[in-house]
Structure 1
Amino acid sequence: MVYYYKYDDKILMSFYKYEDLKAITEDEAKLNNGNIYFLNKMDPIKSRRSFIVNDPSLLFKSSEGLELLILDDVDYSSHIPSWIIDSIKNKSVISINTEYPNWKTALEDTYKGKWNVNIVALGDVGSTLLIGLRLLGGDCIDRIGIYDRNVNRLKRWEYEINQVRKAFSQYEFPKVVPITENQLFDCHMFIFCASKGVPPVGSKIEDVRMIQFESNRNIIKEYAQIARNSSFKGIFAVVSDPVDLLCKVAFLESNKDSSGCLDFKGLASNQIIGYGLGVMNARACFYAEKSEKTMHFLREGRVFGPHGQGLVVADSIDNYNEDISNYLTEKTVNANREIREFGYKPYVAPSLSSGALSIISTIKGEWFYGSTYMGSCYMGSKVRLVKGHLEVERLKLPDRLYNKIKESYERLVRII
């Protein structure tokens, strides 16, 4: 049975009965021309607070996990009214988990203007990302706040980046302003680029990203707690390595009270997005376009999983070839080593492909590659932000491909 409710001017529906909400009839609910909010109840430690319902099957899930990637072709017309199915097709149904104490904040209207974004740490990655946002983000970003504990570095980038302009042009570059720690979360998106312990060029370490985990988890913990104390409602974007694991740390740490107990009053899992997979797609494209046998990846392929070991490159979804996919996966995972062998740190492509370009796509509501919460870990896939809520692309994945993705998923779950 479907129950219908009205809260303020919002129409809600659920398979659960809520005594504290005003009940309305289905006919009253159908008069609504806006979004419909579907209320579910799931354990917050293994679920998102809100998301776009892009398939009727999502209304019937009692838990979340890797199956979020799988397209369900079951006919649900006998389970829910046709007008709700039509609303789902129009991206007008948003699922909200009422087990989150602050679930009602997900009902708030989405900001529709240009965004203000804040970048923390202006090292190699942060400064390159800043350049990308300054040059390319003028149509969707109003202001870029920059923060670094090195005062001279902060002043340098304030001066340098604001002197990047195009003569005789009406193009409006985003304003770049230095901010204080107290202003970090006065924005629509907080971009975490801080990092410590990056191995020097020439080191023989197999997975450079994992070496940074212990030091970077302590740094992100601090900012996650500040986000909690600031009641931050925007996107907490993680660019530092290892992206996927740091997202999970941010989620857990922001939701701990003063005694260290989880109360889920901090960042919702869906507020945190990892930006590391964009460059893996770009690297796969780089190698794929070198041969006619692999060129089809640019049209048909996908990448899944973490930014590093465990990455899965699929040459095609409809015509999956395991040998070609394995080749592209190996080349992509090892691409950063090739740059290091040239004597350089591989930060330019990640800062722009995973960072600036993907962040701009996020703001514009375009598809991009990002790591989002899937039950027990943050997993990379094709996603987008619709009306302020995440939509994950769902596909009919070949069994062999799904099993590879599952293996990668389970590895991430075991780590944290």
Structure 2
Amino acid sequence: LAGHSIGEIAAAHVAGVWSLADAARLVAARGRLMQELPPGGAMVAVEAAEAEVLPLLGPGVDLAAVNGPTSVVLSGEEAAVTAAADELAGQGRRVKRLRVSHAFHSALMDPMLTAFAEVAHGLEYREPRIPVVSTVSGRLAEAGVLTDPAYWVRQVRGTVRFHDAVTALGGRGATTALEVGPLGVLTGMGERIRAAAGDEAPGTVFVPALRGPGAETRDVLSAAGRLFTRGVAVNWRALLPATGHADLPTYPFQRRRYWLERAAVSHTATEEPMDQATPATPEQQPEHPEQPDQPQDEGPRPVLAAKLRELSEADGDRLLLDLVLAESAVVFEQQSLEVELGGDSPFFEMGLTSVGAVELRNRLVEATGLPLGPMLLFDYPTPDYVVEHLRAQFLADS
């Protein structure tokens, strides 16, 4: 388990450090004492490595979080933080001011620490029964760490080392991560951390329990389904108590092809009617139909590449655009967004969230077979730009 900022209290409770009542007391005290602090301060997310921002830290500016290899958050006095952010922006770094009431994880939190320590010392602690990776140290919490009230005081004030925590989880063999939170923001961060580390194998999956307001039931059921297909045990009778139970078939599915290889890709670009597709003759069927467990194709990448070589550039782009729009429609529907997406529609202006961007990128990787980076939709913010990038990738194959 691991938790980001106040989420670490939730993780520690689940691990057994406190009862629910004591965990709630700590959360309530933390929120109340922070709210009682004078307003002011600023937090700014910066596209930069920790080492690059260290020279800018000092009076008025603290490092609130390290969320990735090139993703940090500065926090502190407004003038000092703004000056540091402006300097980084002048170097070509992307910066974004966060909408927060206070400058969390900075020196502006110091006035509430004594009162918070009194609350922390009044709780009953137990050693965790589930291992917890500390986001204060970025390492597995050893015995005695999480049961020390002083740790939770430092946790309010110190840097959130989410990058180190995700790396530590991966080092302990965690290949399926479930984010329990309201928006799924950490899912996108986790994907980028693993990708930057060169550990973007198909076995690594980040699953958000919720994607945003409006479709909570569907989101939770979808997350449970994804976890189940990853081999995670799910108590379906508790999750769906009013439904029946049916076993899957005990025999393997036997798939056979009956169409020409070149017809395996959507023909939308050529607008060729389905009834004009030529069925395969017996000589065109797979060489060994009696062995259905053998691979029948090489995945979408070579098939798409061959199709694009047959088409004109305009028809090829239309084929790719249809693919991008189709996958986008699925993700936008998951977010309960009813929009008309065109080739020049900016994804994020149309309502796509960061977790939706991760989901869409993953779907495009699966649909094309291309090794697309985790920042795909940030670097190519419209379907047309994504198409240009896909075409360049396919041209590199030829």
Shorter-chain TM-score bucket reads: under 0.3
TM value normalised by structure 1: 0.22
**Which structure dedicates a bigger proportion of its chain to strand?**
1
TM value normalised by structure 2: 0.23
**Which structure dedicates a bigger proportion of its chain to helix?**
2
The structure having more radius of gyration, on CA atoms, is 2
- The structure with higher relative contact order (CA 8 Å, sep 6+) is 1
